[in-house]
Homo-oligomer: A and B are copies of this chain.
Amino acid sequence: MEADPSHTWTIAEIAAEFGVTHRTVRHYEEIGLISPERRGSTRVYHRRDRTRLALIMRGRRLGFPLEEIRTIIDLYDVPRGRRSQLEYVLSQIEQRRCDLEQRRADLDAALRELDAFEAGCQAELAAMTVR
């Protein structure tokens, strides 16, 4: 929402924005998911940190453990200067895609079952209404 690329945020602002406590934000730093700048002892968050936080939160909504989230978002930051590195990243991408598509298959199956179940309930309800 901020256009200025040099804008920074405090831990309170970041926590409020993502709907978590500052303890949570610090926990993510402890395990190396983010690494805000320090001014003195105070943490200063940049856009890069917000980007990573957003990815973390989405990973959480999807139910991924933080360790797995780390491998995912770190993938976007791996240096890709050499061909071997690029090829490694590409292989990891395939890996991730498989995982995500498996999940989507499960999700779609769950949604279809829910639809069928709802239709059944609606039918029952209609039958009750009639009599």
Contacts and interface: CB of A to CB of B under 8 A. Distances in A.
Interface of A: 58, 61-64, 76, 80, 83, 86-87, 89-90, 93, 96-97, 100-104, 106-111, 114, 117-118, 121-122, 124-125, 128
A101 B117 CA distance: 16
Copies in the complex: 2
A64 B107 CA distance: 11
A118 B104 contact: no
Contacts of A117: 76, 93
Given A58-B110, A63-B64, A86 B118 contact: no
B118 A87 contact: no
Given A80-B121, A125-B83, A62 B110 contact: yes
